Amino acid sequence: MSAMSNPVGWFEIYVSDMARARAFYEGVFQRSLSPLPGPPGAQLEMFMFPGEMNQPGCVGALVRSGMRGPSPEGALIYFSCADCAQEAERASRHGGAVLMPKTSIGDYGQIAIVRDSEGNTIGLHSAA
Distance CA 125, CA 51 (A): 17
Distance CA 116, CA 94 (A): 8
Distance CA 78, CA 13 (A): 12
Walk me through the domains of the chain, giving residue ranges and CATH numbers.
10-126 (3.10.180.10)
Give the pLDDT of residue 1: 42
Report how far Cα 5 is from the mean position of its chain's Cα atoms.
Answer: 21
pTM of this structure: 0.88
Give the pLDDT of residue 104: 96
CB 123 within 8 A of CB 78: yes
Give the pLDDT of residue 83: 96
pLDDT averaged per 10 residues in sequence order, the chain, 128 residues? 64 96 97 90 90 83 92 91 96 97 95 96 94
